[in-house]
Structure formats: C-alpha cells, structure tokens
C-alpha cells in the first residue's frame, strides 16, 4: 500500500472516531509536503455526509518519525499545547485538533491541525524571492508580516497559559539557557566540533545580555515559515523553537542577512525603516540594535548546531537521507559565518 493510501485509511478511521461520526468518513486530496528533514507533513480533506449535503474539513497531519532534524527541541505534544494556547490570542495560527502520542494509532506520534488557506513560497528559490519582492512593492504583506510578529510579542503569555514553556529568571538567564540548549545539541550530535565554535561560545557566555522584558518568542520568524493569503499572513507556522524570552531574539532574526538573499528587504519582504517604525509602534518595544547584534552571533552558533545535528543523524545511521550527509560541509559554512561575526 502506498504511503498516501495508508494515510487515507488511518485518518478516515481516526477522524471518524474523534468526531464521533456515525457515517463513513472519506479522506481526499492527500498531499505530502516537507519531505525528509523535519516532521512528516500531510495535507488532506476529511469529508463526511451531513443533513445539508456534506461536511468538508481541511486538515494537516504532522508525524514524528523519530529521526528528524531538531527532534530533541521539537516535540509535537508541545506544539499542540502551544497552538491551543494561541487560539485565544491575536496570533494567526492553525487550530490544533488532536495530539496522538500513541505511535500504534497513526504510525508515529502525531499532531492533527487545521489546514489553513494560503501559500508559502520558499525564500531560498528565485520564484519565491520574486513573489516576496512583488508583494513588497504592493505594500500590504510587509505590514501584515510585521503585525503578525508584533502579535506574537504582544501575547499575554501567562494569561494564555504559555508559561509551561519555562520562564527564564531575571538577568541574563535567557541568553545563557539558549547557549546551553545549542551546546547540548552539538554535544549530542557526536560531531567533533571546531575551535571557532569554542571561541564563539566563550564570547557568547561572556557577553550574555540581561533581559528585562519577556515575551513569547517564535524562534524562527521569517518568510517560508508563514502562510500567505491575499498578501496577508493567514497563519504563522513552524512552532518548533518557541520560548518565553527576549523579543529581540526574534527581531534579530528579522534583521539578519541570513534570511535574505540579494535584497535589503528584511526576510525578503519588509523595508527596514518600515519594520522599525511599525514594530515599535505596535508593541511599544524599542529595538535594541546592540542586543540584536548579540543574538545574531547566537544564531551563528545555532546554525552550526543545526548542521552538526543533521550531519550526526546521517553519521550514526539513524537517517539515510543524503541531504543530511551533505550538511557535513554546511557546518564549515556556518563556522565561516561564525568567524566573520566574531570579526575574523
């Protein structure tokens, strides 16, 4: 049986049971996206009869194969809880339907959520960059993209119940906990590392900034991680790296050159001045360039950790995808970046 047919059969039975539907549920338009790197992601429509004709509900299934990149930091159960908490906020995000931890039910621990309308062009492809450039010219998406980040930072995270993510102590414990997290991923990867990384880690620990304002932080807010419909952000996706922490961590990710290619537009879509003005006015948070610079160095460490972890997955035989094998050389590129960020 093909993987798509397996999904059809499993989901038909699962949706019928969870929604307590007496009639037959059929699963249509099954499509697999995001092959290989992270969680398996499937889109489909669940269809069942009703007195008015038929019910059709678009759904998205994410499954954890257990050998995906960032499996240590990205638990589907946590993603489910975060999405549930966000339902009472202004953050555009998919509704979470169910979390199924039992691997025997859907073939792996799984999260089922709403299929939100919209498109998600890759900013790493020419067609994607052209899409964002044209949207920037029309002027609506830059505002919506900035507003969605402001909405994340404006969430009353205690009220929303997001404090289960862990709340850093006062002082510099947020930055230090991120360093510890990425150091842990590097250690777990089994990669031999490089002295540039030791230099970067030492520098980051010695210069960790204090944080006096804590917000919900997405952790990877950029084009490619949001769905767009009619030039508006219809959903923020990829809730895999969220923390309670310094909002400048997200702002630094907006400002970094890593997330734009051949353009001055932040994340390929937002003019810098517009972002500063709009973000500060929507959040009341002043952007601190010096702290953002610090977090850009932290992102250099995070990139190295990602690639080392990916290369480690291939090296230890737990994932045979050759794209992971290739990341052995992406580690060098990340180290080159880290050295440049440190000024050499």
Partner 1 sequence: MSLPIGEQLQRISAKLRAEIGPAVTDEYTRTQTFMASVILERISKQIVLGSDHLKVEQQEVAMLHEQLARILVDVPDVIVHARLAAEESLEVAALGALICELYAWGADEKLVEDALSLIRPVLRADIDRRMEIAR
310 is a site residue for partner 1 (CB under 8 A): no
- Residue 174 CA to residue 244 CA, distance in Å, equals 8
Site for partner 1 in 275-304 (CB under 8 A): none
322 is a site residue for partner 1 (CB under 8 A): yes
Q: Rounded to the nearest 5°, which phi and psi values hold at 207?
A: -120, 15
When binding is defined by CB under 8 A, the residue of 3, 36, 72, 117 that contacts partner 1 is: 36
CA angle 284, 288, 291 (to 5 degrees): 135
Structure tokens at 234: 């219809």
When binding is defined by CB under 8 A, the residue of 20, 102, 206, 290 that contacts partner 1 is: 206
> Given phi > 0 = left and psi -120 to 50 = alpha, else beta, which region is 217?
beta
125 is a site residue for partner 1 (CB under 8 A): no
- Residue 234 CA to residue 166 CA, distance in Å, equals 28
187 is a site residue for partner 1 (CB under 8 A): no
In terms of CB distance, is 45 or 205 closer to partner 1?
205
When binding is defined by CB under 8 A, the residue of 4, 19, 116, 339 that contacts partner 1 is: 339
In terms of CB distance, is 191 or 278 closer to partner 1?
191
Q: In the beta sheet, which residues pair with residue 228?
A: 119, 233
Q: How many other β-carbons are positioned within 10 Å of the β-carbon of residue 307?
A: 25
In terms of CB distance, is 188 or 336 closer to partner 1?
336
193 is a site residue for partner 1 (CB under 8 A): yes
Q: In the beta sheet, which residues pair with residue 61?
A: 42, 112
In terms of CB distance, is 143 or 325 closer to partner 1?
325
In terms of CB distance, is 199 or 231 closer to partner 1?
199
Count of chain residues binding partner 1 (CB under 8 A): 29
In terms of CB distance, is 18 or 194 closer to partner 1?
194
- Residue 84 CA to residue 98 CA, distance in Å, equals 10
When binding is defined by CB under 8 A, the residue of 53, 195, 262, 317 that contacts partner 1 is: 195
341 is a site residue for partner 1 (CB under 8 A): no
176 is a site residue for partner 1 (CB under 8 A): no
When binding is defined by CB under 8 A, the residue of 171, 202, 213, 257 that contacts partner 1 is: 202
In terms of CB distance, is 233 or 310 closer to partner 1?
310
In terms of CB distance, is 42 or 239 closer to partner 1?
42
Residues within the interface to partner 1 (CB under 8 A): 35-36, 192-199, 202-203, 205-206, 321-323, 325-326, 328-330, 332-333, 335-336, 339, 342, 344
């Amino acid at each position: 049986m093909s993987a798509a047919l397996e999904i059809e059969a499993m989901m038909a039975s699962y949706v019928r049971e969870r929604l307590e539907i007496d009639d037959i549920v059929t699963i249509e338009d099954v499509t697999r996206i995001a092959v290989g790197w992270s969680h398996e992601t499937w889109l489909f429509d669940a269809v069942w009869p009703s007195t008015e004709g038929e019910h059709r509900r678009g759904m998205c299934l994410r499954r954890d194969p257990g050998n995906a990149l960032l499996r240590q930091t990205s638990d589907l159960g946590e993603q489910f809880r975060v999405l549930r908490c966000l339902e009472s906020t202004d953050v555009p995000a998919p509704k979470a339907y169910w979390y199924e931890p039992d691997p025997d039910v859907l073939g792996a621990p799984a999260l089922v959520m709403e299929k939100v309308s919209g498109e998600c062009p890759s900013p790493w492809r020419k067609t994607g960059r052209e899409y964002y450039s044209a949207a920037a010219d029309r002027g609506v998406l830059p505002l919506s993209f900035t507003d969605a980040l402001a909405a994340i930072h404006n969430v009353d995270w205690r009220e929303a119940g997001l404090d289960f993510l862990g709340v850093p102590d006062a002082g510099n414990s947020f930055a230090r906990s991120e360093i510890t997290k990425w150091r842990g991923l590097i250690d777990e990867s089994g990669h031999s590392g490089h002295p540039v990384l030791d230099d970067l880690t030492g520098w980051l620990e010695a210069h960790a900034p204090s944080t006096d304002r804590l917000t919900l932080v997405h952790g990877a807010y950029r084009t490619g991680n949001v769905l767009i419909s009619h030039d508006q952000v219809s959903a923020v996706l990829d809730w895999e790296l969220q923390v309670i922490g310094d909002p400048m961590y997200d702002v630094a990710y907006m400002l970094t050159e890593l997330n734009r290619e051949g353009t001055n537009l932040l994340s390929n879509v937002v003019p810098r001045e517009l972002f500063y003005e709009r973000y500060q006015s929507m959040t009341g948070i002043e952007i601190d360039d010096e702290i953002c610079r610090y977090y850009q160095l932290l992102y250099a460490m995070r990139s190295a950790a990602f690639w080392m972890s990916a290369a480690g997955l291939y090296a230890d035989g737990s994932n045979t995808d050759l794209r992971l094998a290739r990341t052995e050389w992406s580690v060098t590129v990340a180290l080159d970046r880290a050295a440049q960020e440190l000024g050499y």
